[in-house]
Structure formats: structure tokens, C-alpha cells
Structure 1
């Protein structure tokens, strides 16, 4: 992440952070991440656990959306700001930051938790209900409006569908393919962290926006993880999986929301500030939630 921040400042060969991040995230999303998804889900335990991860993530995010909608409506936030901040307060950075954090904290098995939370719950919710929200509060300037479901037609979801089919049919990956997928998977974590550093824009920090960011911090970093911690007690999962899932939902705001804000003319600068602030605060809040989870589970 620090290297990505340094790149944003120095701009080697004149390449801006936005140019570099666009290329890297595209390569990860369309090539390296599908390889990891196929590698992990092919051998993962898929079944009741997966449904519980989906329920935990969807209900928690809906809770976060509702909390911030109430706050924003009460304080009469402008629509462009309210739409952007509902996304910032509700959707965590489960993959780009959650994957490396959980893998280093719990071990390689946590990859399965992250991928199932993302592909079975968070991304489908973002590309359906999330897009409905940004369309409502923003402005769609394209002449031909695409269905929200179109965003789910992407390589990570294809890889997930293929992996689930192979997994449920008991097919075993040949050694050469398994080795290739694992090799490609190793590129995901460093590229994700580097891209996250590129996305942190300190120039977006404006003192006048602090009153809008404070409720995001309250909902995203405190209320949503607390609600997830309450909810996970009602699920039948191993304790370490419960801890990993809640910690993943405690991640800072999702970087991808910046793209949606730009696309639908929401307040992208305010969203970028929310991402930067919550990511910086996560250096304190994630260890805090980890200690809580270890004491509880």
C-alpha cells in the first residue's frame, strides 16, 4: 500500500495513479482473480456454510445501508452525497484488503471465506441493489441503460460457477492445472494491495467534508461489525470461520464504489475521502475487532 502511495506521488514515466490502477485492477479482475477463484472454490466446502456466509453479509450490508439512510435523511444530506456515502458506509473492501489481511491473520483457508462472501453476497448485492441506489440518487447519462445484472457477467463469476460445478460433481483438478492456478493466485494479493495504495487520494481530504465522513466511520467501522458479531452467533459455523467472516465485514469502504460514483455523477471526491479515511483508521480498528473476536471465539 505504501508503494502505491509513493507511486501516486512520484508518477514514474509520467504514469498517473489512475492510469496505473486502471490497468492493474483490470488485469487482476479479468485474469488473476478468476484463477484464484477457480483454485479456491474447486476444493472448498460449499453448501450450508456458503448460504450462511451469504445471509450474514447481505443482512449486515442492508443494516449498514438502513443506518446511514436514516442518518442522511435526518440531517437532510444532498442526494449526490447521500448516495455516495450509503455505498461507503455499507460495502466493505472484502477482497482488495480483506483477502491479504485474512490470509495473513488466519491462514490460507481464509481465502475461501473471503471469496464466498464476495462472490456469493457482496458483489451481487453491489451490482444489483447498489446500482439501483446510485441510479436513484445520481444521474445516468448513457442513452442506453443496461440492466444491473449485466455487471455479474464477468470472469470472476464465470470462474465461481465453473468451480462450484466441478466441486459439487467431485472432479479432481489435475496436478499441472492446480499448480498453474496456485502460481497465478500468488499475484493477486500484492497487486491488490498496491492498487489500494494507488487509490488512496490524500488530496480528496477536505475539512468541510468531515461532518459527512463521521457518520460513515460510525456505521462502517463500529455499528456494522457490531451487528455482524451479533448475527454470526446465530449461525452454525466453526468459531474461526465466524471470526474471519466478521473481520472481513469490518474492512474499510470498498474502492470500487469510486467507479460507480463517477459513472452516476455522485460525489466521487467525498467517496474517495471516505475510502482514504476508513482505510487509514482500519490500521487501528481491525486489530481492535480482531482482539474482540479472539476473546469471543
Structure 2
């Protein structure tokens, strides 16, 4: 896995260099355009292609169950640590509510697609992409657009837009997942021309996602006092969540082949998409961005350790 992570780190580094070259404002515009392309075209193509070819069985249910337990229990741990605001008031007085909301999201929702897909596919083979898709789109994303949005509204400002459940069904990859599952369930053959088209589109997902992650990483001056506030995010996201996933996978009878990919998927760093949600609901975007940066950098160390531990 080390060589895989080093290769991905090189692409992320290229994204960082690109951001520094373009400047913050231009880089944010460029990253947004890249993310929109992945969000609306490339990721849905990859999702429908993978799920269409993968047979529906008990693992189609097991992985989302493990994912839901991992996300919700991690969120509970985060709430117990951050919910009363004492830790934040001690090290970051002022705007505690905005910080709590951002930190709860940072603890519970990992970069399961943007980083999970490339890590699993490069480490275990392309078949493991289905684990990332099941984990994210059948569990984490629905929880994000329901429980996560409710929390963001509570701790931030009432954002514009529709009900969270309706927002969920505006996610293109969700519809792609539904379509892929139905096509697989009814054993509909995939035309060769469509197979080739979806393969080509899906191949763009990994490099564009990694570039986008690199362009999203940022750090502010005066970071030292915020380390105690960010430390629980690191512990929950990189240590506790994979432990929950591991024990949950054993509890649901996860086959050995799927065990390591599920645990590695749960060990992903904080998701990049949360920056958009924090901005929309006026949470502490800068603090959330630091959580993304810190957990992403540390995951280059913790992911190989988890793979060694579970293999």
C-alpha cells in the first residue's frame, strides 16, 4: 500500500502546487469546476458501471450496515466530546456553535469516495470499488444529507434549499447507484459500447478526485492553539471509526475478502465535500478545512498501519 499512497500523494501534491500557483481564489474556482465534473458526470458513470457488473447479495446489505454503524457511532462519540462546547471554549473562545457543527461533521463523515475509491481500487483491485460505493452511497451519503444537514442547520444558520431528504435525491450518484442495482438485479446485459464509454468516463474519477483533494487542503497561521480541538477529530476519524467498522463487520458476518477493504474504507480522512456544507450553513469553514488537511496528511501513515494490522 505504501507505493500506492506515495503515488496518490504525488497527485495530491500536484493539486497543492496548482493551488499555490493559481492563487487561493482562482484555485477554488478551478477546484469547484473539477468537483462539478466528477459529481455530475464521472462519478455517476463509475458508480453505475461498477454496480451493474456486481451481483446483489448479502454483502450489498452488510457493507451499508457496517458503514451506518461506523458513521453514527463516531458521530455519537464526537457529540459526547464536543457537544457541551467546553473543549472549544477552552482553546477557541467565541463562535462555539459554528465550531461544534463543523467538528461533528469532520468526525463522522470520511472521504469515502474521493479518497476511498482510489485507495481501495489500487490496493485490493478494481473489484473493491464496490465496497467504497456501497459504504458511501448506500449509507454515509444518505446519513449526511439527513442527520448531517439537520446538525449543520442547528449549529449554523438555516440554509436555503429544500428538505434534506429531497436534497438527497438531487445527488446524481444516488440515482446512478439505484440504476446500477436495478440493472444488476434484473441481470440486464451491458452493451459493449456502453461498457467502453462508462469505463472511459470512470477512469477520470481517481486522478480528478485526488487533484481536488490537494487543491482543497489548506492551513491557517496560529494553528498551534487549535491542535487540542482538532486532536479528537484525528482520533475518531482515523482510529475509532475503523475499529467500529472492524467490530461491526465481524458482527454482521462479513466475508474475509471484504473485511480489510471495509476497515480501510472506514479509516479514510475527513471528507472534502463538508467544506461546501460548512460554507452553506455558515459553520467554521477554516476549522473544518484544517481537519481535512490534518487527517488527510496523517492518513498517509495510519492507512498502511491499518492494512498491516488487519491483513
> Given the two structures, how large is their TM-score scaled by the length of structure 1?
0.94
Note if 1:162 corresponds to 2:172: no
Q: Deviations over 1:34-60 (max 9, x none)?
A: 111111000112232111111101111
State how many pairs are aligned. 291
Unaligned runs of 5+ in 2: 1-11, 89-95
Aligned counterparts of 2:39 and 2:117: Cα–Cα separation in 1: 14
Aligned counterparts of 1:205 and 1:109: Cα–Cα separation in 2: 44
Q: Paired residue for 2:102? A: 84
Unaligned runs of 5+ in 1: none
Counterpart mapping for 1:37-186 below 5 A: 37-73=47-83, 76=86, 77=88, 78-142=96-160, 145-152=161-168, 153-186=170-203
Classify the secondary structure of the residue corresponding to 1:136: helix
Q: Deviations over 1:161-208 (max 9, x none)?
A: 111111111110011111111111111100000101000013377222
Classify the secondary structure of the residue corresponding to 1:171: coil
Once the two structures are TM-superposed, the CA of residue 74 in structure 1 deviates from its matched residue by 5.1
Classify the secondary structure of the residue corresponding to 1:139: coil
Aligned counterparts of 2:167 and 2:39: Cα–Cα separation in 1: 12
CA contact (8 A) 2:69 2:244 kept: no
> Given the two structures, how large is their TM-score scaled by the length of structure 2?
0.90
Q: 1:197 to 1:63 in 2, by over 3 A?
A: same
RMSD, aligned α-carbons: 1.5
Deviates more, 1:39-48 or 1:59-68: 39-48
Aligned counterparts of 1:204 and 1:79: Cα–Cα separation in 2: 22
Classify the secondary structure of the residue corresponding to 2:279: helix
